[in-house]
Amino acid sequence: MITTTTLQFLEDLKNNNNRDWFQSNQDRYELYKTDYRETVEAFLDEIKPFDDTLEQLEFKDCSYRINRDIRFSKDKTPYKTHMGIWMCEGKKNTNLAGYYVHIENGAAFAAAGLYFPDAADLKKVRREIDGFYEELEQIVAEPEFKKLFGKLESNNDNTLKTSPKDFDKNHPAIEFLKLKSFLAVTKLTTKDLTSKTFIKDTTKKLLVAQPLVEFLNRALTTE
């Protein structure tokens, strides 16, 4: 579970996102780092027996620095105010699909899939959908998937308004082909985060989307 101490630290950091406050709360940050490491390692222990592509992962592969990269951002606040956990066969800095847990009081969620791939990888995914869309339809039609995630996330930011180049607007999988990001997302409550079974329960949710992750990674790794 996530400790209330960690959630309160992140909440206070959100309200005091500056270097002076952060430096004066280093003792709390050290407790946060310990909770972060223990949480990531517990997730890895829980999920690895069910997905052997994650076997090589360690804490450093799944965690993020608290400092934000503000070089090209209008938001100049220096620190992240959430805990992120990314578990992927290719580790953090690759283009493969995987599992993500976002820990933030009032805005937590678990997700699986592929977040805004570059143009070359997006083309690979669309090619896979074109040839095997019935398989993807079956994945997202599974009752447990529908109950937990509803459908793949679709909004104005990640969905084309028209059919992509080289695909007919009447293609039977056009709604999949119009996506620019391929994510299954489910919300987590603060009660979920602080539950003693948080890691076990969340891992079960992520694994419901394992066939989606495998479908996407097949698209990205098959020549």
| Residues 80-89: tens digit of each pLDDT | 999 999 999 9
Instruction: Give the pLDDT score at 92.
Output: 60
The pLDDT of residue 70 is above 90: no
pLDDT category at 77 given cuts 50, 70, 90 is very high
Specify the pTM.
0.94
- Residue 186 sits at the vertex; the CA angle it makes with 152 and 163, to the nearest 5 degrees, is 15
Cβ within 8 Å of residue 35, ≥6 positions away: 2, 3, 5, 6
The pLDDT of residue 150 is above 70: yes
**Are 221 and 125 contacting, i.e. CB atoms less than 8 angstroms apart?**
no
pLDDT category at 219 given cuts 50, 70, 90 is very high
Helices first, then strands: H and E counts in the chain = 10, 4
Instruction: Give the pLDDT score at 93.
Output: 60
Tell me what the mean pLDDT of segment 127-141 comes to. 97
Residue in the structure block whose two tokens are 């283009």: 95
* pLDDT tens sequence across 44-67: 999 999 999 999 999 999 999 999
Task: Give Cα separations from 111 to 14, 34, 100, 152 (angstroms).
Answer: 23, 24, 5, 10
What is the Cα–Cα distance from 174 to 24, expressed in whole angstroms? Answer: 53
